[in-house]
Amino acid sequence: MSRIGKKPIPIPQGVKVSIGREVVVEGPKGRLTVPVPQGIRVEQRDGHLVVERDDDRYAALHGLTRALAANAVEGVSKGFVRELDIVGIGYRAEQKGRVLILNLGYSHPIEFVLPQGVEARVDKMTHIVISGADKQLVGQVAANLRALRPPDPYKNKGIRYSDEKLRKKVGKTGAGGK
């Protein structure tokens, strides 16, 4: 039996769940849908969502469906947050509506348009907070922002996650060629 799949998902106050071909979760932060694959059943029992499978052929989908449903319930009730830091002289970000304008040492500023369902906040021009109800979308937007200027291993300049630990490489020493 799947360890993750058999754990019931508690449904917090103010969250509505409707089950059909897909699980629709509605809460204060928004509305998310989770597809239910064939061979998997989702039931609501005394304030909990329970995910069950027909037989062992669906073991992988069992845990996956439960994890996606749990993320949807947490997302519409609490939401997800990803924080990024910008490190480097002259590197900064500013926000104009749903567009982030990033100066990352290139010859031009980069305009990054935020997708629907994701909010961003820029603190102190070097700290970006990305939030939203969909865990996958929040993580993908953070990864796309980080990919614009990944941290340099020699000087540690670039965009990094706030909780990311970087290993700085030692550069060349100018010993000559003797």
For the chain, count helices (H), then strands (E).
2, 13
At 46 the pLDDT is 87
Provide the 3-class DSSP secondary structure of residue 160.
strand
Calculate the alpha carbon distances from 116 to 66, 90, 113, 127 in Å: 25, 29, 10, 21
What's the mean pLDDT in 17-42? 90
Q: How far, in Å, CA of 136 to CA of 144, rounded?
A: 12
What's the mean pLDDT in 15-41? 90
At 55 the pLDDT is 87
Q: Is the pLDDT of residue 1 over 80?
A: no
pLDDT tens digits, one per residue of 136-176: 999 999 999 999 998 888 888 889 898 878 788 888 876 65
Q: How far, in Å, CA of 8 to CA of 23, rounded?
A: 15
At 178 the pLDDT is 54
Q: Report DSSP state, residue 56.
A: G
Q: How far, in Å, CA of 111 to CA of 134, rounded?
A: 23
What is the pLDDT confidence band of residue 20, given thresholds at 50, 70 and 90? confident
Give the number of other CB atoms < 10 A from CB of residue 46: 7
At 2 the pLDDT is 63
At 68 the pLDDT is 92
Name the percent of the chain in helix, strand, coil, to the closest 5: 20, 40, 40
In the block, tokens 């937007």 appear at 141
At 177 the pLDDT is 55
- Torsional sign, CA 95, 99, 103, 108: negative
Least confident of 1-5, 40-44, 155-159, 165-169: 1-5
Strands 99-103 and 30-35: unpaired
At 174 the pLDDT is 65
pLDDT tens digits, one per residue of 59-79: 888 989 999 999 999 999 999
In the block, tokens 């929040």 appear at 138
pLDDT tens digits, one per residue of 79-116: 999 999 998 898 999 999 999 999 988 899 999 999 99
Domains of the chain, with CATH numbers? 9-77 (3.90.930.12), 80-161 (3.90.930.12)
CA nearest 27: which of 35, 37, 17?
A: 17
